[in-house]
Amino acid sequence: MEIKSFFDERTFTLTYIVWDKKTLDGIIIDSVLDYDPVGSKIWTESMKLHVDFIKANNINLHYIMETHAHADHLSASPYLKKVFPKAKIAIGEHITEVQKVFKEYFQLDELVPDGSQFDVLLKDGEELTAGSLKIKTIHTPGHTPACASYLIDDALFVGDAIFMPDYGTGRCDFPKGDAHALYNSITEKIYKLNDNTRIFVGHDYMPGGRDLKFETTVGESKKQNVQLPLSRSEEEFVTFRKTRDSGLSAPKLLYQSVMVNICGGGIPKSSGNKKAYFKLPVNVKDTNGFILD
C-alpha cells in the first residue's frame, strides 16, 4: 500500500491518496476545494494536484472519502467525481445527524437530511472494498457526531479526532460535538488498535513553528498526546476540552464549509441569475447599548 499526502497551507488540511502499487486500485481522503472568503473566490489549485497525481500514476480511483463534514475547508468531492465518474463519494452514515442540525440552523428548506447527497453511507465496523484495498470504517464521534476513521492495513486516517501528539485532539464545541464521546472514541477505539498502527491526521498546525508532521502511531499517541495520553481520566479530559474550546475562535470558513459539505461538497447551485450564493447567518453580539437588529 502506498500513501501520498498533500498539505493545504491555507487551511492546514491533509489530503491523502491511498493505492495498491500492484493493482493500482485507490481512494482519496478529504479533498480540498480552494476558497477565499475575500471576494468569495473559488478555484481548483489543490484539486488539480490531486487529479494530476492520480492520472500520472494510473490510479483506478474507487472512492472519494470524507472523514466528516469539515468546518474549515470546502470539499472538492463532486468535482473529483466529474473527472473520475466511476468513483463514489463515501462518508459515515451519521452525517444525517449533522444535516438535521444545520438544515434548521441555515434554514436550508431544500436540503433533505437523509444522506442521499452522498453515494455511500458507511456503518461502524463496515468493511469497504476498493478493488484490492480493504477499508474498515470506525465511527469516532466527538468532534462531530458523524466523524469516521478509516483503517487500511496498518494505517488509520482519523480526520479531526486526534492530531499529532504535540497538538492534541479535535475541538468539541460545534453543534452536537461531545467531549465525552471523543474521549471514548480515542481511548476505546483508536487506542485499542495495535500500538504499531500508523495514524494519519487530518490537520497539522505546526505548534511552535516546527516543520509539518502528519504521521504518528497509536503507541506514541497513548504515551505522548499532550491532551489525551492513555493515563488521563475522562473527567480531566472533558474539563480540559470544555475550557479550551470556550476560548477558541470559530474557523474562518465555518459557515461556507459546513453549508456545502453537508450537501456532498462543492458550491451552492446557481440561482436565476446564474450566480451561486452562500446563505450566511449574522450573529449580533453588541455590548455597547446600540440596537443592531
User: Which residues, including other chains, have CB under 8 Å from residue 238's CB and lie 6 or more apart?
Assistant: 179, 180, 183
Whether 159 and 67 have beta carbons less than 8 Å apart is answered as: yes
In order of their start, the domains of the chain are 2-261 (3.60.15.10)
CA-to-CA distance for 143 and 159, rounded, in angstroms?
Answer: 10
Whether 139 and 148 have beta carbons less than 8 Å apart is answered as: yes
Q: What is the pLDDT of residue 131?
A: 98
Whether 77 and 89 have beta carbons less than 8 Å apart is answered as: yes
Q: What is the pLDDT of residue 53?
A: 98
The mean pLDDT values, 10 residues at a time, for the chain of 293 residues are 97 98 98 95 96 98 98 96 98 98 91 97 98 98 98 98 98 96 98 98 97 98 98 98 95 94 88 84 74 63
CA-to-CA distance for 233 and 221, rounded, in angstroms?
Answer: 15
Q: What is the pLDDT of residue 293?
A: 60
Q: What is the pLDDT of residue 292?
A: 64
CA-to-CA distance for 186 and 156, rounded, in angstroms?
Answer: 12
Amino acid at 130: A
Rg (CA), the chain: 19
Burial of 106 (0-12, 13-18, 19+ CB in 10 A): middle
Q: What is the pLDDT of residue 199?
A: 98
Q: What is the pLDDT of residue 25?
A: 98
For residue 265 the three cell numbers come to 461538497
User: Which residues, including other chains, have CB under 8 Å from residue 92's CB and lie 6 or more apart?
Assistant: 67, 68, 121, 122, 124, 137, 139, 146, 147, 148
Q: What is the pLDDT of residue 291?
A: 64
